[in-house]
Amino acid sequence: MQASNNGKGTSGTIGQPITYEKIPTQIFADSKEASYAVAKEISDLIRQKQKEGKPCVLGLATGSSPKTVYAILVRMHREEGLSFKNVISFNLDEYYQMEPDSIYSYHRFMKEQLFNHVDIPKENYFLPDGTVPAAMLRDYCTSYENKINAVGGLDFQLLGIGGNGHIGFNEPGSLINSHTRLITLDHSTRAAASMEFGGLHNVPRKAITLGVAPILNARRVVLLAWGERKASVIKSAVEGPVTELNPASYLQAHADVSFVVDESAASELTRIKTPWAVDSVIWDNKMIKKAVTHLSQTLKKPILKLTDKDYNDNGMSDLLAQYGAGYEININVFNQLQHTITGWPGGKPNADDTHRPERAQPAKKRVLIFSPHPDDDIISMGGTFQRLVDQGHEVHVAYQTSGNIAVADDEALRFIDFVVDFNNGFGIDSPNASKLFQDAKDFLRHTKNSEIDTPEVRKVKGLVRRGEAKATCRFVGIPTSQAHFLDMPFYETGTVQKKPIGEEDIKIIENLIEEVKPHQIYAAGDFADPHGTHKVCWDAIEAALQRSKHKNFMKDCWVWLYRGAWAEWDIYEIEMAVPMSPDQVLKKRQGIFKHQSQKDGVVFQGEDSREFWQRAEERNRGTAQLYDSLGLAEYEAMEAFVRWKF
């Protein structure tokens, strides 16, 4: 764990690091480790209050960030005797209008995540009521806040942070003295929630939220943030000015606040992004690549044109002192980047592979591409996928989940109507199939937004995605016998909220690796994916790899991580960059188009309204343009990979 000082200056005394951070920020390797630290603090507070014979008043948050904290608290209750009998809790917010038993309500979320699993008395937890009549809202909000004051105020407030900086549902524009109220949700907030609601049109436009003032009145505040998609807003809140445009920045004024983040969410902080500007660093090869590429991008100069003065003027004089002339450093970094570029992702046969990212031998490799959803293969590495097939490698694709929740109801209805018409048109009599499809059709026509799809409907939606994945495989040029549909059990809940991976999930991956015996494995490495599915899928792959690594065939297996349509690897991290011509970019787009259910009206757009093919192309072009700006060869587009080692 790293913790910042709460200094406000941008310069330090001799021997002390410069600090840009105005909020104490603790950085953990991952969200699991961070969540444990927060759960431990909460449990210690509960126990201390018990010893004092006092209630422990907690302010609680919803969303994805605190889920692991709650899971750890539940485990502490079950295994370590942590009692919640003295806990009084108040939740931050609730959608309006929202019935408490809806699958989308925060009442239900809190019961499923925490309350139903611990011994907190029912009369001791409070959540805003999303059904209060409009005429009574003002008085209700005042009374909710008065209840907090009546028990002595909040001892501890747990927060998440929105992509626009909101805390609770205090959207940008909220004032520091704002109180509990009904608020209209920002479009970006609704877009980010669209995956939970099955589309933007289902997301409520309003919510009741605890105001900024009562949040700041809590004696202790801890804010959680995970993933690179929160990195820029964390930097703004921690290092930027206090502004209503980022309500989380108001926490700079709190006497006892901590931001608890993982490494990805901290990636834009000055001490992480440019650590040499804050303190002395160890100039290993990775740090040198990071610094030189950052300097080149900042000054908008190709690497080979950087001068000693550029290094000295930008806080890198100690690098020069350690390694000599800047030009020698430039040449070294330039060559390293040059050696990442290859048109032979499976290795070039009968070629010197000393400076190539992949091995020349064996010339024909068995390749296993893991695709968390049925379209991640073509979206994230479609050009490389095609190149591997064209160059004669035996390519297998493993579709880890069915992807059924990302199929809109009208797409499923269209598919069902086709099956019925097909059977009728060819005189096919299948009573069981007809009943299954009719039941699914009836459910879809009469379902409410709050209902979970039936197993039959999920099956239909899964078949839609499976057919599209097969079409992509045929388009790229591999037989469908090399497309493996794993349907991992953790995914099949019918909701965005998934189960933790289990033994069955890991065994499915392990068995497939044993069957294919690959020389190359490609897997999704974008763990900040808004679905969360990518991270869980990788956890299962990693567990299977750890079990299999002692086997003889694994000695020849290299693992490459790709990223999806949401983000790319930082340039200094990239170890293999596969260029694409304009024609190859177009062919990749055509492959993505095979996933018709994900075009135009795709359910989970998140905050980005572009279609997946647009995001992928812009990301791939951006990577190529970055290489070009650093002074390397100019390509139309590039797909990038990082090697994962056992």
Enter the tokens of residue 272.
Answer: 């992480």
| 8-state DSSP, 397 | E
SS3 assignment, position 628: helix
Nearest to 565 by CA among 522, 498, 603, 621: 621
Dihedrals φ, ψ of 12, to 5°? -120, 170
Please give the sequence-ordered ranges of beta strands (E in DSSP) within 29-110, or none if there are none: 56-60, 87-91, 93-96
Integer Cα distance of 18 and 27 in angstroms: 17
Alpha-carbon span 169 to 207, nearest angstrom:
7
171 is catalytic: yes
Catalytic hit among 21, 171, 510, 617? 171
Let me know the angle formed at the C-alpha of 221 by 70 and 239, rounded to the nearest 5 degrees: 115
Sign of the dihedral through C-alpha 408, 410, 416, 421? negative
Contacts of 6 (CB under 8 A, 6+ apart): 21, 22, 23, 24
**Residue 191 contacts by C-beta under 8 Å, 6 or more apart in sequence?**
200, 203, 605, 606, 607, 609
Sequence-ordered list of residues with C-beta below 8 angstroms from that of 60, at least 6 positions apart, any chain: 66, 89, 90, 91, 92, 110, 114, 158
Distance from the Cα of residue 411 to its chain's centroid = 26
Which residues 6+ apart lie within 8 Å of 542 measured at CB?
Answer: none
Report angle CA 462, 463, 464 to the nearest 5 degrees: 90
Residue at token pair 């020349």:
360
In 210-347, beta strands by DSSP E:
221-225, 257-262
The rounded distance, in Å, linking the Cα atoms of 47 and 54 is: 10
- Of 608, 610, 496, 611, the residue nearest 191 (C-alpha): 608
**Cα distances (angstroms) measured from residue 292 to each of 340, 572, 628:** 16, 9, 15
Q: Which two tokens stand for residue 414?
A: 């269209």
DSSP 559-576: EEEE--SS----TTT-SE
Element holding 47 (H helix, E strand): helix 31-51
Residues 108 and 72: beta-carbon distance below 8 Å:
no
Report the alpha-carbon distance of residue 305 to residue 529 in Å, rounded. 37
Burial of 515 (0-12, 13-18, 19+ CB in 10 A): exposed
Catalytic residues: 171
